[in-house]
Structure 1
Amino acid sequence: MADVNPDRTRERRLRDADRGQLLVVAGLVMAVALVALVVLLNATIYAETLATRGVEDADREAADVRAAAVGGVGELLEATNRAGPSSHAAANDTVLEGVADLDRRIARSYADRGGAVRLDADAAGLRRGKHLATDGNATSLANATGATTYAFVDGIDRTRAFSLSLAVDDLATTTAANATGEAFHVAFDGAALAGSREVYVYRNGSGGVVVANGTNGAAPTALCSVAAAPGENVTLDLTGERFGSAACPGVWPADLVVPTDRYGIGFANADAADGTVTATVRPRPAGTDPATDHAGVSPAVYDAAVELRYRTADLRFRTTVRVAPGEPRA
């Protein structure tokens, strides 16, 4: 017989309604939890993206400040040395005054961006060097006594910004096999090298100018060449390893990139070229004057250690940079 008790029927309906409400509430709770999880995940990803972007921007900003400081001090060193100061003390004073002026100019530039820059240098951070320059004469790079084979400089352990500008018309026309006796060349020797190294420059007879490397006076091997018309000059940047506008890797002796001992630089067959040569060198032992066999030698600052500080609301950067423009593979 069916149960028609109204109270029991009502109880069953209430129980069914309660279960339905619990299911709805549970569903809402799960939905809210999922939404909260998605929001937290998005917030984490966004925060990490911002943090990474901030680090990259800060690194780029610090690198830009450092590049501006190094470039400015490098130009200052070169301008000071080219001017031919009367003494090392005068060269140091010019550089220190120039760094102070550069500090003011960079500070003004970065102040507009909300940053504070400070450049500091002192005499202890400047190392003595010699600036060498020879203009040659009407027919050759022979020195003042007319010698065509002579020491350009001796007793050094660092060279930078060593560049030759040579007239194409005055270069010997020869081959690699005959270059040793006929072509102008730069010779390196000394305790820093096991033997000697030579760099030759000559015409090949086909409208090209060749740079070749030799060892211990043996026939050289061509490294690079450029097409050059009569009346032109070609530029060989030895320490920068460039010939004309193109790279010439390997032209600077590998043992002299970071030498551990003294060496000398000489010229041979100097009557087979005409042009100008410039270089900045550092004597060894420090503070001495290198031996030279030509005019055009003046006191110089070889390199400078400069303290750089940069500060913004989000960045603190401090470092000491060594500035030596034109060093090999710098």
Structure 2
Amino acid sequence: MADVSLGPPDRDRLFGGEDASEADRGQLLLVAGLVMAVSLVTLVVLLNATIYSENVATRGVASADGEALEVRATAVDGTGELIDATNRAGPGGHGNATETVRDGVTDLDAEMSRSYAERGGVTHLELLGVQNGTRITGAITGNATGDPNASTLARDVDRTRGFVLDVDPGNLTDANATSAVDDAFHVDLDNSTGGSRQVYVYNGSDGNVTVAVGENGSVPAARCAVPPDGRGRVAVDLTGERLGDRPCPGIWPTTLVAPDDAYDIALMNASAAGGEVTATARPVSGDTVTADPGFGATPAVYGASIELRYRTAELRFETAVRVAPGEPDA
């Protein structure tokens, strides 16, 4: 039978011996490793919690921002459509135009209140004021009392929006950058301190409707071109900087977005084009923009200032916005 009796205590185990110091160091290393491992795990847990909290907070802010921007866009778009509809109706005077816009904003406020109440939001939209101007329309040709090919669309203005040429490609002159100066239809934007800019519209050598820009009568540089689609006219949106359905950057001078001095708008070489023109302009002083008598000029609201407030359980938003649809960007 095996001997299972216990012997006397081991003196080295109880009181330490030659290997005691090495055992202590091993134990210390083991404990230190365990502490470092626990510390690293704790650090990882805290870092993950911080990242998660930051993501949740960011999503909340983005959601609130998006909601506020949606309400603002609804108010601005609705007011802009109201202004343009009022101007197209040809109000009898600026007072009538202002009252129509004011009544329309009141109706828009009621509609927005009902719509956003379903989401638990409270809105309030108020018209603060309007800026008067003139809406000018007419054929591109035959508007001047003297030379029918050189007419003044607007005199002494400091803001223009919704300036669109609806041209017939079949009536445009064939030209290139060099011949356009003398032969092509163009819009002349004349500023007393900033010089003049010419925006030419013609059929290029490739058959495309081309828009080119020159300074002070110099040879222009082509900015954009679109092929005629066979469906009729092509819109040249000067203040919106578009040709047809394509962007055409650089055709409206940045100096005329918010100019220091008044400028005039003229249509030159009008016999080299056919179509219609529309623009809404604001005079430097007074309410009415002067144009050659061949154009139709009616009182209009150029722009409006509105105040918008929106409140939910999580969001409070308030802003004042100037609305001028079709105005060039700064």
Q: TM-score range by the shorter chain?
A: 0.7 to 0.9
> Hey, which bits of structure 1, 4+ residues long, moved more than 6 A?
30-42
Gaps of 5+ in 1: 1-11, 13-29
For residue 136 of structure 2, the aligned residue among 132, 135, 142 is 132
Contact kept, 8 Å, 2:144 with 2:151, in 1: the verdict is no
1:1-330 to 2 correspondences below 5 Å:
46-122=52-128, 125-134=129-138, 136=139, 141-143=141-143, 145=145, 147-194=148-195, 196-228=196-228, 232-285=232-285, 287-294=286-293, 295-329=295-329
CA pair 78-296 structure 1, distance change in 2 beyond 3 A: same
Which residue type is aligned with residue 129 of structure 1?
G
Shift of 1:210: 1.1
* C-alpha separation in 2, matches of 1:279 and 1:288: 15
Cα RMSD between the aligned structures? 2.8
Contact kept, 8 Å, 2:141 with 2:148, in 1: the verdict is no
Which residue type is aligned with residue 266 of structure 2?
G
CA pair 181-115 structure 1, distance change in 2 beyond 3 A: same
Gaps of 5+ in 2: 1-13, 15-34
Which residue type is aligned with residue 264 of structure 1?
D
CA-to-partner distance for each residue in 1:37-96, whole Å, 9 max, x for gaps?
988776655544333222111111101111111111111111111111110000000100
Contact kept, 8 Å, 1:169 with 1:231, in 2: the verdict is no
* C-alpha separation in 2, matches of 1:85 and 1:188: 28
In structure 1, the residue corresponding to 2:63 is in which secondary structure? helix
Contact kept, 8 Å, 1:238 with 1:252, in 2: the verdict is yes
TM-score using structure 2 length:
0.83
Which residue type is aligned with residue 183 of structure 1?
A
Which residue type is aligned with residue 109 of structure 1?
S
TM-score using structure 1 length:
0.83
CA pair 49-176 structure 1, distance change in 2 beyond 3 A: closer
Shift of 1:176: 1.9
* C-alpha separation in 1, matches of 2:117 and 2:44: 42
Contact kept, 8 Å, 2:213 with 2:251, in 1: the verdict is yes
